[in-house]
Every structure is written in C-alpha cells, then in structure tokens.
Amino acid sequence: MVRQGKLLEVKDLQKNYGKKNNITKALNGVSFDILLGEFLGIMGPSGSGKTTLLNCIATIIKPTSGCVLLKGENISAFDSKDLAEYRGSRIGYLFQDFALLDNLTGQENILLPLSIHGVDFAKARAKLDELADFLEITDILNKFPAQMSGGQKQRVAAARSLISDPDIVLADEPTGALDTRSARNLMNKLEGINRNSGRTILMVTHDPNAASFCSRILFIQDGVVFHELRRKQEESREEFYERILQLLAQLGGGSANVF
C-alpha cells in the first residue's frame, strides 16, 4: 500500500571520490523522492553508485553537494544530537553481510541499538517479541551468530533494523549472501513488513527476484537515475519480475529464474 506524502527527498546528490587528477564521480546529480509507505528498489550495474547513494542517506559518507531531506528536514544540517537520533532510531540499516556482533546473542544484537539510546526495556521486549514472531526467529534469539544459518542471521539483522521503529529501512543487497530459498523467505518478510505496517523501505539490489518485491524501482548508471519501473496495481510479482528482466536484457543484463 502506497500512502501519500514525501518521506525522503534526494536532491541533486553528487559524490566525488579522490583528488584533483584522479576523481571518481560516483554520484553525478541523483534526484528522487520516496513516498511514505513505499518499497523502493535501486538497481544498477556494479560501480554505478548504489552503495554510495545509500551511504549518503545513512550519513555514513558525506555528499560532495546536494542534499537529503527526511520529512522536510535537511539531514546535513543536523547537529550531533539530531544526527545520533537519526542514525540510532530514524533509519534502520540492513547490510549484505548481516553485520551482527559475533559475541552477542541474536536477542542482544537486536536490542543493542536500543540500549545505546537508553530505551525502556519493557517496551523493547514487547516489540522484540512481535518482530521475532513475525520474522520466525523466536527459537534462535539465544543463539550466537555462528550457530545460525545465513537466512536466520539476516532475519535477526532485519529485526535489529526495525526494533527502533525507524522512519525508513535502508537495505544494501540484503539477499546477496543468501541461497535462493532464504532470499525468497527474507523478501516475503520485508514485503510483509512494508505492507502490514506501512514501513518505508529503500533497497539496493542486483537481484531481479528481490527487486520484484518492490513497488517501484529506480535504475542508476554512471551516478544518475536514468529509468524507473513501477509495479502496476493488478500486476503479479512474477509479471513484474518479467518486466524487470526485459528491461535488464535491453540494458545488456543477464537472465535468471523467478524464485
């Protein structure tokens, strides 16, 4: 379900790496909006600037120029307190390699962001139980990452990204390290989280299967957005997947099988 209203505005974002004689223009003027409740995908070839874009939005890196607004607020203008709140509770980040701490249990990994921000434990516990139930990780909350499968690790990481009720979840290739079955399971969960609670998700992916769960996909190349696909109201995921494949084939990408 797509609700009205701009949640995130990316305006003419540019990011150069390197110095004078050796500059890489990773982002070359990227502009787009994300509506509240959208599940937006970003696709593009390797080196097209996808992770750079996500990391600028996450304030992991600083853009060379341009800006990102969350609910109308310029995130570059945040003071250190606002920035800590933004990173800690207004965005959730889901990494390709899970980024779980090995010496903490699943539950401790999930609750860590909240304990850093001093959130009430009873409230956190209720939220944890709800997320664990939906993500089917209740039985592994006391296990350490080394005792979990890849799919379980990523669902624990998904719970961590959601525990603070962020305005938006930023996911960078969340299925990249998963087998087909675990990838489909994770995408079903993310789709459910988007549909059931209206959580806005921005996901970077190479994978047309993962992208077919999105409501809209932006394609970037050489640091600019050059195409958009929108899933139609009546369109099945399989049909959307076919359209994504067709577009990738026109652009010179490969083919695959729907999961």
Neighbour tally for 4: CB within 10 Å: 7
Shortest distance in whole angstroms from residue 124 CB to ligand ATP = 33
Q: Which of 7, 8, 13, 26 binds ligand ATP (CB under 6 A)?
A: 26
Q: Tell me 63's DSSP state.
A: -
Positions 32 through 91 that interact with ligand ATP (CB under 6 A): 44, 46-52
Query: Which residues are CB-contacts of 245 (< 8 A; sequence separation ≥ 6)?
Result: 208, 253, 255, 256
Question: How far is the C-alpha of 213 from the C-alpha of 215, rounded, in Å?
Answer: 7
Residue 4 or residue 46: which is nearer to ligand ATP going by CB? 46
Residue 205 lies near ligand ATP (rule: CB under 6 A):
no
Question: How far is the C-alpha of 237 from the C-alpha of 193, rounded, in Å?
Answer: 16
Q: Is the dihedral of CA 229, 235, 241, 245 positive or negative?
A: negative
Shortest distance in whole angstroms from residue 154 CB to ligand ATP = 17
Shortest distance in whole angstroms from residue 30 CB to ligand ATP = 11
Alpha carbon distances (Å) from 32 to 63, 66, 228: 15, 12, 10
Tokens of 128: 């944890």
Shortest distance in whole angstroms from residue 197 CB to ligand ATP = 28
Residue 50 or residue 184: which is nearer to ligand ATP going by CB? 50
Residue 24 lies near ligand ATP (rule: CB under 6 A):
yes
Shortest distance in whole angstroms from residue 27 CB to ligand ATP = 8
Which helix (H) or strand (E) segment holds residue 169: the answer is: strand 168-172
Alpha carbon distances (Å) from 60 to 57, 86, 123, 137, 146: 8, 12, 28, 29, 27
Residue 211 lies near ligand ATP (rule: CB under 6 A):
no
Shortest distance in whole angstroms from residue 28 CB to ligand ATP = 10
Residue 226 lies near ligand ATP (rule: CB under 6 A):
no
Residue 250 lies near ligand ATP (rule: CB under 6 A):
no
Binding interface with ligand ATP (CB under 6 A): 17-18, 24, 26, 44, 46-52
